[in-house]
Each structure stands twice: as structure tokens, then as C-alpha cells.
């Protein structure tokens, strides 16, 4: 099972990644994580990437592809992987295709977890964080209580900046702009699986598994 994972902010992409990863026993590879990892390990590519980031520039595609190649060649990817965070442009998608071709991999699928934007805004807007312990609750979970169920702090709930409507709308817009061309690219190849992410976590997962088993 070789998957590319796409999901707008707020659709529970991380949760689905975790479930799929344990279900199929394949690693969830976030490109942000592996980039940090190679920088920490100071591999050749890690050193190069660090130099570039220290100059305040973005890590170029060829270095990112190199880092992904090293990661996908590790033993735990033999049965598959979930790649998260790449590609973000059509050019990157073409480069990734080349790499996968080199590796004799042709059965890639792109999972696109989507949701209605107004629904995402509503969902995130309905969350409150506790400023004492950091736990996040839905309004439904705390009802009209002013006491945190996790740490018993009083009057500690607040709406995080990340959960405010204008911030969410901006992030969704950036996401849409970044991913539109990539989705189109994979749709042309018939490799996109789209699932609505706003259901109950288990239901979304069931739906995903059903489609993947086809």
C-alpha cells in the first residue's frame, strides 16, 4: 500500500494517517519530520538542507527528493508507506514520479481527505483550549462549565488563534492554491481517492479502507 496523503487543515489528516499506518503496518512519513531528522543526523543531504534553510531559503526540490529517496529505501517501506507533505507542486509531482519509476513503484494512490470549508470553520470555531493544560475540547464537551475536565482549572478556556475564522479561511485558501495543480495532475492519472473527512473518525476510516480494498 503506497499512499500520498492530502488533507485540508482541520479534516483530521493526522488521525487517519495513524490509523492507516497501524492497519497496514506501513510508516507514516511526514516530509517535515524527515527533513528535521536528516538535519539532526547531519547526513550529507541534511547538511546541505541546513545551509540553505539557514540562509532563509526553501529546500529545493532535488534535495527534498534525495531525502525522500533515502527514506523510501529503508527497510520499513518494503510493504508500503504513507507520504505526507509532498508533492506540493506539479513539478514536484513529476520529480516524484521519476523517483518512483526508478524504484519500480507504480501502484501509488493519492488520498484526498476533503471537507466543505464552512464545515471546517464551524468545527474548529467550536473548539476551546485550556490555557493551563493545553487540552482541546469541543463546546459540546464542556457545555456551560467553567472548569477544565482535564486539570480542574477555572475560567481557563479560550479560542486559539489557529481556530479563529479568519485564520482558518486563510490557511484553507493557501492549502487550496498549493494543492490544486497536484490534485489535477494525479486525477488525470486516475490515482485520486477522495473521502469526506468531516464524519466520525471511525466512519471516515472505514470508508477509506473500503475504497482502498477495491
- What span, in angstroms and rounded, lies between the C-alpha atoms of 61 and 88? 10
Nearer to Zn ion, 135 or 191 (CB): 135
Q: Which is nearer to Zn ion, 63 or 130 (CB)?
A: 130
Judged by CB under 5 A, which of 53, 94, 103, 151 binds Zn ion?
A: 151
Among 70, 117, 119, 132, contact with Zn ion (rule: CB under 5 A): 132
CA dihedral 105, 67, 89, 115 (to 10 degrees): 80
**Does residue 142 interact with Zn ion by CB under 5 A?**
no
* 13, 69, 164, 169: the active-site residue: 13
Which of residues 103, 133, 139, 209 is near Zn ion by CB under 5 A? 133
Q: Draw the binding track, 88-127, toward Zn ion (x: CB under 5 A; -: no contact).
A: ----------------------------------------
**Residue 36 a catalytic site member:** no
Q: Is 130 in the site for Zn ion (CB under 5 A)?
A: yes
**Cβ of residue 134: shortest distance to Zn ion, in angstroms?**
7
Is 55 among the residues known to form the active site? Answer: no
129 contacts Zn ion (rule: CB under 5 A)? no
Of the two residues 160 and 191, which places its CB atom closer to Zn ion in the complex? 160
Catalytically active residues are 13, 88, 127, 160, 171
Residues that bind Zn ion (CB under 5 A): 130, 132-133, 148, 150-151, 153
Amino acid at each position: 500500500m503506497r499512499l500520498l496523503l492530502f488533507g485540508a487543515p482541520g479534516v483530521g489528516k493526522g488521525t487517519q494517517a495513524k490509523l492507516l499506518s497501524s492497519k497496514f503496518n506501513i510508516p507514516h512519513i511526514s516530509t517535515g519530520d524527515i527533513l528535521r531528522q536528516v538535519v539532526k543526523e547531519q547526513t550529507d543531504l541534511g547538511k546541505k538542507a541546513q545551509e540553505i534553510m539557514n540562509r532563509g531559503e526553501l529546500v529545493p526540490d532535488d534535495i527534498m527528493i534525495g531525502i525522500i529517496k533515502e527514506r523510501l529505501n529503508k527497510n520499513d517501506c518494503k510493504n508500503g508507506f504513507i507520504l505526507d507533505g509532498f508533492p506540493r507542486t506539479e513539478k514536484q509531482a513529476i520529480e516524484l514520479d521519476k523517483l518512483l519509476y526508478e524504484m519500480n513503484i507504480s501502484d501509488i494512490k493519492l488520498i484526498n481527505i476533503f471537507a466543505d470549508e464552512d464545515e471546517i470553520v464551524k468545527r474548529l470555531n467550536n473548539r476551546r483550549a485550556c490555557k493551563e493544560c493545553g487540552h482541546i475540547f469541543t463546546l459540546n464537551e464542556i457545555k456551560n462549565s467553567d472548569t477544565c475536565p482535564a486539570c480542574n482549572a477555572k475560567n481557563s478556556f479560550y479560542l486559539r488563534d489557529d481556530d479563529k475564522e479568519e485564520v482558518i479561511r486563510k490557511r484553507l485558501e493557501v492549502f487550496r492554491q498549493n494543492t490544486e495543480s497536484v490534485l489535477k495532475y494525479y486525477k488525470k492519472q486516475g490515482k485520486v481517492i477522495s473521502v469526506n473527512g468531516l464524519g466520525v473518525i471511525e466512519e471516515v476510516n472505514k470508508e477509506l479502507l473500503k475504497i482502498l480494498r477495491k
